[in-house]
Amino acid sequence: MASVEKHYDFIVTGAGAAGRSFVYQLLHSPLKHSRVLLIDQERKQSDDRTWCFWESTPGPFEEIVHYSWPKLWFHTYDYTRQLDIAPFSYKMIKAADYYSYTDECFAKHKNVVSIIADVASVEELPDQKGVLVHTSEGDFSAPWCINSIWRGTIDKSKVQYLDQHFKGWFVRTKEPIFKDGDATLMDFRVPQHDDFRFMYVFPDTPNTALFELAIFSNEHLSSDGYDEIIRTYIKECWSHIGEFEIVREEQGVIPMTDYSFSTRNGPIIHVGTAGGDTRASTGYTFLYIHRRIQRLLQALAKGDNRLGDLNWFDQRHQYYDSLMLKVLAEKRYPGDQLFARLFRDNPPPRLLRFLNGESHLPEELALMSTTPIPVFIRAMIGA
Ligand SMILES: Cc1cc2nc3c(=O)[nH]c(=O)nc-3n(C[C@H](O)[C@H](O)[C@H](O)COP(=O)(O)OP(=O)(O)OC[C@H]3O[C@@H](n4cnc5c(N)ncnc54)[C@H](O)[C@@H]3O)c2cc1C
């Protein structure tokens, strides 16, 4: 590892999904010789999350995709469909693989220095002199800080806000019962309790699968509460599973909101969850982090002061997200029925492009015509 100096071209505060994506993509860009300091309060090694997303082309982390699925099930109590999602595939990356893969890459580059330190604050220096980052290991300066540490608070009474809270079981069965074709994107066959609740199931070997329960609501359950729902779901919908053990669990919360996150304060560029890269209607974040960082690096390399921010027309996807979130958060239409309509009346790639913010206007109009239009119009005008 290179020695720790005091001044860099970029200081990256937070070495999670976004901080690492920035450094990794920088090393594969025209800015690859920049001197970078990457700071996190902990050494990231554990499999603390599993990232899933869909895309139609290989992404920057294709080498560590743990598994990908070309077809996915969608279920409600009265509608079932297997979705052929080509040209997309649904991909899973394990956090431990992501951390070790990026660490190995950074270790090969003398211009990247990683340290473990608590970042106390990031100070913008006067006269466009960049930033001074105050940490438990001393102060460091740079023209730019790429920050993924969230320090704000969201006044939930002023915005649409729903937590996506979830718990997953990684199970191993005694018999080889899972097939590739069993992967399930959304299964609403769990009691909704006036919320928006669904299971997803992703088998990665004939004996192992992730069963995860996601709930969109601001009231969280106890750990046992999630377990009970997952157990009942497996008993009712996977009755052929036989004996199984839970080898690992994952639990977390993703805030879904139309809060206007600041993407930049002068030389401090906010990325990841802290920079508003989470999609308000689905909670998916991982793919949008890499895309945003790709645009950011292209802009930095060209000296483009817009720093890869989307133009007003491309920002329409954020408006769709916020409208969908409003319909769900204000319970204007049952979420399971809304998604059943969307999956029943649209070709899956159209819907997936829409949810990824990749759709074009004609497709968006076609998709909107399959929604309960009066509900969305009332949400739009606040009636
Ligand atoms: C369990 C879980 C599963 C998820 N699954 C998916 C998924 O399947 N698909 C998807 O698209 N999104 C998913 N997400 C949402 C999102 O992709 C992740 O939260 C992602 O990790 C966000 O990246 P980030 O860099 O913004 O934050 P993080 O990855 O959390 O990184 C922030 C970093 O900042 C560090 N830090 C914080 N404070 C300090 C400080 N004071 N000093 C120094 N360092 C500090 C933290 O240690 C951390 O490493 C999931 C989230 C969770 C919690």
User: Which tens digit of pLDDT belongs to each residue from 63-88?
Assistant: 999 999 999 999 999 999 999 999 99
Task: State the DSSP code for 268.
Answer: E
In a domain, 81, yes or no: no
Same domain, 145 and 171: no
- Please give the backbone phi and psi of residue 247, each rounded to the nearest 5 degrees, phi first: -90, -25
Predicted confidence band of residue 146 (pLDDT cuts 50, 70, 90): very high
Is residue 296 scored above 90 in pLDDT? yes
Same domain, 169 and 239: yes
Q: Atom of ligand 1 at shortest distance to CA of 273?
A: 26
The residue count for the chain: 383
pLDDT of res. 313 = 87
Same domain, 29 and 141: yes
In a domain, 312, yes or no: no
Mean pLDDT of 224-251: 97
pLDDT of res. 180 = 81
Distance 343 CA to ligand 1 centre (A): 29
Same domain, 116 and 198: no
pLDDT of res. 310 = 87
pLDDT of res. 5 = 87
Ligand 1 pocket by C-beta < 6 Å: which residues?
Answer: 14-19, 39-42, 44, 49-53, 118-119, 148-149, 250, 252, 254, 272-274, 284-286
Same domain, 148 and 169: no
List, for residues 321-356, the tens digit of each pLDDT value: 999 999 999 999 999 999 999 999 999 999 999 999
Same domain, 169 and 234: yes
Same domain, 127 and 43: yes
Is residue 1 scored above 70 in pLDDT? no
Neighbouring C-beta atoms of residue 10, cutoff 10 Å: 23
Mean pLDDT of 40-61: 96
Same domain, 354 and 340: yes
Is residue 244 scored above 70 in pLDDT? yes
Name the 3-class secondary structure at 229: helix
Is residue 6 scored above 70 in pLDDT? yes
Q: Whole-prediction pTM value? A: 0.96
Q: Which mutation among 198, 285, 287, 296 tests ligand 1's pocket best, with the greatest number of atoms within 8 A of CB?
A: 285
In a domain, 225, yes or no: yes
Find the domain containing 167 and state its range. 161-256
Instruction: Assign residue 122 the CATH number of its domain.
Output: 3.50.50.60
Mean pLDDT of 230-249: 97
Average pLDDT, the chain: 96
In a domain, 251, yes or no: yes
Is residue 158 scored above 60 in pLDDT? yes
Distance 254 CA to ligand 1 centre (A): 9
Q: What total of structural domains would you count in the chain? A: 3
Mean pLDDT of 52-60: 97
Instruction: For residue 279, give the amino acid letter.
Output: R
Same domain, 139 and 243: no
Is residue 142 scored above 80 in pLDDT? yes
The proportion of the chain whose per-residue pLDDT surpasses 90, expressed as a percent, equals 95
Q: Atom of ligand 1 at shortest distance to CA of 14?
A: 34
342-381 in b/e burial notation, b at 16+ Cβ within 10 A? bbeebebbbbbbbbbbbbeeebbeebeeebeeeebeebee
Same domain, 218 and 177: yes
pLDDT of res. 4 = 76
Mean pLDDT of 226-242: 97
Same domain, 196 and 251: yes
In a domain, 147, yes or no: yes
In a domain, 115, yes or no: yes
Domain boundary pick from 232, 256, 280: 256
List, for residues 302-323, the tens digit of each pLDDT value: 999 888 888 888 899 999 999 9
Same domain, 168 and 146: no
Is residue 157 scored above 70 in pLDDT? yes
Cα angle 185, 330, 227; round to 5: 45
> How many angstroms separate the CA atoms of 127 and 222, rounded?
51
Predicted confidence band of residue 2 (pLDDT cuts 50, 70, 90): low
